[in-house]
């Protein structure tokens, strides 16, 4: 093997390694975002489940509208103490009551500050 062949071989190998490192970096980034997205989805779903269990119906908006919780919020329902960096906000609006419509729309939004991941889930509850 000549010196030229060795230099060309090293250049080809370097190009392959740079491409592989770029793939690894992007894969790690996507994995981190996926984990944050899954946790945010669970936190939003847990909040909507807590709203479903709330009684009486007429106090849902007063109890949950414009609430914001973090891992430091001791009164978070359900608790977020195991999830630092996440913020959960809840918005609730009642339509009606009238003879044709009486329902509450609740939206839970969870944001992870480090990855800017945002999840919004909405629930519509009919009067019960």
Model pTM?
A: 0.74
DSSP-based three-state secondary structure for 80: coil
pLDDT digits (tens, 9 = 90+) for 18-62: 999 989 988 887 777 888 899 999 999 999 999 999 888 889 999
| 44 neighbors 118 (Cβ within 8 angstroms) | no
The pLDDT of residue 16: 92
């Amino acid at each position: 093997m000549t010196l030229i062949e060795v230099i060309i071989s090293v250049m080809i190998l370097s190009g392959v390694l740079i491409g592989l490192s770029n793939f690894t970096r992007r894969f790690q980034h996507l994995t981190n975002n996926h984990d944050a997205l899954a946790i945010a989805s669970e936190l939003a779903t847990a909040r909507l489940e807590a709203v479903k269990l709330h009684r009486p119906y007429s106090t849902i908006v007063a109890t949950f509208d414009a609430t914001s919780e973090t891992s430091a919020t001791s009164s978070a329902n359900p608790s977020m103490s195991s999830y630092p960096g996440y913020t959960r906000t809840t918005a609730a609006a009642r339509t009606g009551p009238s003879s044709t419509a009486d329902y509450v729309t609740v939206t839970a939004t969870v944001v992870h500050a480090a990855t800017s991941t945002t999840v919004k889930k909405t629930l519509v509850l009919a009067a019960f």
